[in-house]
A and B are shown apart, each in its own frame.
Chain A
């Protein structure tokens, strides 16, 4: 495991270095514009999977956390001039708080009810934001971010590297959670909550921890968003497509391990970026819908499950 850890750390280091060097090789800023979105979905899928994949609690409200993170950083910057790093931390705290709140409110409910309750969270948050004039209401907020630091080639490149760092941090966190006692406990919760409780697994504390960490990562994905688009408004910040992708990507990759959401996000988000440019955004959504149905019907354990099917069957 330690050797795996070293390899993982080295790989992450190489990825970060490559991200810093990429602007010197690729001159077209569009690649970084699109790359930002793809990495954003890596973070979202990874964050979702901590609760949805490891613990088996399906959160339809990923967009709620994303939007909360986006609004937190936009408000903190516009009102107090807090820089992106500060608001990123603030967004994580708010996301974790929301996650805890969601966890507490939904302690007694499992399965479908939990999923529906999280769907409600998005609508309630969106309604609240719509009704707060300080947050711009339905008109939204314009965010004129600071110019990127000198080492970055331009705003898209800077945002790309920032999102890369967030992605690396969240994937490392997800990996650590999966391999540590936390992941083992959550797997027990997913298999059978009652049995886990009887065997002395602190199911309640683990669930709340998963809710908080998942919420923090999802909010972190949203925090740089206002700086990326220079604008934030309720409909796009709480967009259904975020919640949809948050579920679709881990499901396509595989929900059991940290690699699943990363693979799913890279594949699906890249395809979506290409489809949006070359075809149309409607067909893009149709494509996601069909892919989802196909994967649920044919490969319920995702691509990783498809590859590992033989091994799993032998173990079972």
Chain B
């Protein structure tokens, strides 16, 4: 394999990996980016979604179908979580950042331990016909276990973008981020809209979890490694920009694989945060954000 072929393969892997990161980060782009709720439990919810898919897979259900089925219970779970959050904080007035962060921090611990108690702390993986084979495009070798989950990311991004742009409820969610007060004057209930958005965000966690579990085995604590990455993506994308999330996630995926292949795999976990710190210091509104 020539130097250039290697480079192409590295970049291709980065693009695929980045598409998966997008699927994981999307939910946070909605909760944190649009609703401004610092939901650091999102990665834990993603892993919970992964476990849902793994559990269904044990009974021979295809991971993609399991993820589609899982959208419903996770949507309801998200609405429940938002109701709890709103009851705890919004009744009291404005939510304190420290308190809401702590609430979600506690929630992610609870999720992790419930998963440990239910499934044990060892790694769990999926089986499906398309996991294990690989496709060749000229000099590129693409493993299907990366290709299939990588399609989930852009597909979800596309669906959400259409939803936010062309449906009434999608427009309402964008409106609630823009001006909650005006919305309630117009006769809509902001809490109901936010609950719906939070449900939607939590539903995407199943897709992200399915994608992660397809790439490689997961354990209950896998979410911790994603916290930094997803926040870096959401902030860099400019808070709530859905297409921006995909672009930044792919960029991050390429940066991580380049560093892992040419420098040292041990450096790649720091990449997301180094990018994030740099961005926060230099361009706090994100790459795709607008100055408010």
In the complex, besides A112-B32, A112-B97, A138-B266, 7 extra interface pairs with C-beta distance below 8 angstroms are A105-B281, A108-B281, A109-B280, A115-B38, A126-B269, A244-B105, A282-B116
Shortest CB distance B72–A (Å)? 25
What are the 7 tightest A-B residue pairs by CB atom distance, in nearest-first order?
Answer: A289-B109, A120-B273, A292-B106, A127-B270, A286-B113, A293-B106, A289-B110
User: Taking each of B100, B121, B224, B270, which has the highest tally of chain A beta carbons within 10 Å of its own beta carbon?
Assistant: B270
Question: Complex: how many Å from CA A109 to CA B235?
Answer: 12
Cβ of A251 within 8 Å of any chain B Cβ, yes or no, is: yes
Q: Does A56 contact B (CB under 8 A)?
A: yes
B75 within 8 A of partner (CB): no
B107–A113 contact, CB under 8 A? no
- Bin chain A's interface residue count: 35 or more
CB pair B113–A117 under 8 Å, yes or no, is: no
Q: Using a CB-CB cutoff of 8 Å, which residues 251-265 of chain A contact chain B?
A: 251, 255
Of residues 270 through 301 on chain A, the ones whose CB sits less than 8 Å from some CB of chain B are 282-283, 285-286, 288-293, 296-297, 300
Which secondary structure dominates where chain A touches chain B?
helix
Bound CA span A236–B277, Å? 24
Cβ contact within 8 Å between B274 and A289:
no
Give the shortest distance, in Å, between B219 (CB) and chain A (any CB).
13
- Are A293 and B107 in contact, with the CB atoms below 8 A? yes
Task: Tell me, in angstroms, the Cα distance from A289 to B103 when the chains sit together.
Answer: 9
Bound-state Cα–Cα, A115 to B38, Å? 10
- A123 in contact with B269 (CB, 8 Å): yes
Q: Is the CB of A297 within 8 A of B88?
A: yes
Residues of A within 8 A of B108 (CB): 289
Determine whether B102 belongs to the interface, using a CB cutoff of 8 Å to chain A: yes
Name the one of B98, B116, B281 contacting A251, with C-beta atoms under 8 angstroms: B98
Asked if A311 CB lies within 8 Å of chain B CBs, one says: no
Answer whether A120 and B277 are a contact pair too, CB < 8 Å, given A251-B102, A296-B106, A297-B88. Answer: yes
In the complex, chain B residues whose CB is within 8 Å of the CB of A156:
none
Residue contact B267 to A56, C-beta cutoff 8 Å: no
A77 to chain B, nearest CB (A): 25
B101-127 CB contacts (< 8 Å) to partner A: 101-103, 105-110, 112-114, 116-117, 121
Partner of A111, one of B97, B105, B272: B97
Q: Identify 18 residue pairs between A and B in the complex whose beta-carbon atoms are under 8 Å apart, listed by A's number.
A: A60-B101, A119-B227, A120-B274, A121-B273, A121-B277, A124-B270, A127-B266, A130-B266, A247-B102, A285-B112, A286-B110, A286-B114, A286-B117, A293-B110, A296-B103, A297-B88, A297-B103, A300-B96
Give the number of chain B interface residues (Cβ < 8 Å).
44
- Between B84, B106, B228, B267, the greatest number of chain A beta carbons within 10 A of the residue's beta carbon is seen for B106
Q: Is B284 an interface residue (CB 8 A)?
A: yes
Q: A116 near B231 (CB under 8 angstroms)?
A: yes
Instruction: Provide the residues of chain A in CB contact with B284, threshold 8 Å.
Output: 108-109, 113
- A120 and B272 alpha carbons, distance in the complex (Å): 8
B276: interface (CB < 8 Å): yes
For B102, give its contact among A56, A105, A126, A292 (CB under 8 Å): A292
Expressed in whole angstroms, the Cα–Cα distance for A121 and B281 within the complex equals: 13
From residue A169, how far is it (CB to closest CB) to chain B in Å?
26
B101 touches A58 (CB 8 A): yes
Cβ contacts under 8 Å, B276 to chain A? 116-117, 120
User: Complex formed: what's the CA distance from A120 to B277 in Å?
Assistant: 7
Query: A26 → chain B, closest Cβ, in Å?
Result: 33
Q: What residues on B are CB-neighbors of A128 within 8 Å?
A: 270
B171 sits at the interface (CB 8 A): no
Q: Does B99 contact A (CB under 8 A)?
A: yes
